[in-house]
């Protein structure tokens, strides 16, 4: 018998429509979710741990770090082959990435959820949970780190993003694709996501801000960050990592004050690179002290920077971590 621990955190998968609120509200625990599965999981024993009953848009960084600790404790049990986390889809990719960079070992950590609430007659939750449990129990999944299993597909935590607000096939890995799939009761891994890039777990720094570029924006928010205690800033720039005029000077003011600035691309595919100069192409931003994130999204670069700052990593260490990531 293979042991899997299911950690429930709320989300649509654990929600029903509330007449009192006139909206969908989280409130079901992991045991209720497990009881709703449509098919047996032969040869797998599932232990349930209740973590939170919140929609994922209400989770904090402290919640996410607590979830990482709960995952680590579950994996430390000798009879646990892997962990499944039921989670709201809005921030699932972020919690999964934190688990990927902070939780050591080769036992898989599989996140899943639903787009249709538990009271919906055709909720996708039960199937997604069953698929996730099968992946967590599969010897083929050892070494993949954290992943999201949704609509029969397996996606690496580093690469995946929520690409549709409401469809059941909400998750994609732009430019790279899924790493495997679940076919009925069979788990198929087509590729491994590559070496794990672990970060020392010393907590998370909350004061890391994220700013997305748009046509004609001003850098006023960067000066606001400098004046209000930001420990780090991530900019989602245009294309290769470019920004509107004036941003290079604002970046220089931040970096000269010891605040690291990372530049990701707002595009779903491709990497940042110092191709364009002028005010404020990526080359100029790097000249002002910014660091490029390559193919790492702004959402995940923010989390990586938060963890690195908590661990006391300086500029050189941040640059080295970005190169690895």
**In contact, 145 and 93? CB cutoff 8 Å:** no
Cα 227 to its chain centre, rounded Å, is 29
Question: For the chain, where are the alpha helices, taking DSSP H only?
Answer: 30-35, 61-75, 92-102, 125-137, 220-227, 247-256, 282-287, 298-310, 315-324
Instruction: Name the residue among 148, 156, 151, 146 with its Cα closest to residue 125.
Output: 151
DSSP-assigned letter for residue 299 = H
Residues designated catalytic: 12, 89
Q: Regarding beta strands 109-112 and 146-150, do their DSSP bridges make them parallel or antiparallel, or are they unpaired?
A: parallel
How far apart CA 107 and CA 144 sit, in angstroms, is 8
- C-beta atoms surrounding 221 within 10 Å: 15
Give the DSSP per-residue string, 76-104. Answer: TSTT--EEEEE--SSSHHHHHHHHHHH--
Print burial letters for 84-95: b (CB count within 10 Å at least 16), e (below 16).
bbbbbbbbbbbb
- CB-CB neighbours of 230 under 10 Å: 20
What does the radius of gyration of the chain's CA atoms come to, in whole angstroms? 20
- C-alpha distance from residue 177 to each of 84, 97, 124 (Å): 21, 16, 21
């Amino acid at each position: 018998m293979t042991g899997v621990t299911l950690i429930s955190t709320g989300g649509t998968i654990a929600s029903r429509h509330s007449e009192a609120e006139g909206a969908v509200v989280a409130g079901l625990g992991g045991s209720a979710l497990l009881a709703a599965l449509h098919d047996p999981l032969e040869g797998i024993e599932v232990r349930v741990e209740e973590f939170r009953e919140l929609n994922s848009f209400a989770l904090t960084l402290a919640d996410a770090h607590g979830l990482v600790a709960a995952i680590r404790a579950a994996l430390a049990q000798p009879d646990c082959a892997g962990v499944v986390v039921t989670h709201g889809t809005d921030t699932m990719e972020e919690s999964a990435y934190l688990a990927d960079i902070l939780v050591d070992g080769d036992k898989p950590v599989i996140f899943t959820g639903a787009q249709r609430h538990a009271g919906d007659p055709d909720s996708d939750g039960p199937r997604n949970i069953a698929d996730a449990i099968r992946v967590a129990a599969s010897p083929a999944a050892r070494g993949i780190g954290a992943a999201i299993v949704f609509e029969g597909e397996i996606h690496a935590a580093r690469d995946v993003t929520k690409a549709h607000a409401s469809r059941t096939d909400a998750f994609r890995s732009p430019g790279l694709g899924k790493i495997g799939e679940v076919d009925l009761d069979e788990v198929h891994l087509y590729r491994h996501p590559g070496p794990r890039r672990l970060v020392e777990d010393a907590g998370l720094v909350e004061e890391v801000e994220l700013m997305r570029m748009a046509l004609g924006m001003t850098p006023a928010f960067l000066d606001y960050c400098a004046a209000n205690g930001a420990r780090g800033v991530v900019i989602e720039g245009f294309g290769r990592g470019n920004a509107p005029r004036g941003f290079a000077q604002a970046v220089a003011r931040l970096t000269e004050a010891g605040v690291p600035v990372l530049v990701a691309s707002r595009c779903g595919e491709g990497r940042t690179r110092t191709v364009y100069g002028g005010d404020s192409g990526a080359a100029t931003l790097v000249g002002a002290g910014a660091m490029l994130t390559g193919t790492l999204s702004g959402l995940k670069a923010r989390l990586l920077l938060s963890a690195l700052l908590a661990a006391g990593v300086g500029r050189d260490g941040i640059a080295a971590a970005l190169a690895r990531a």
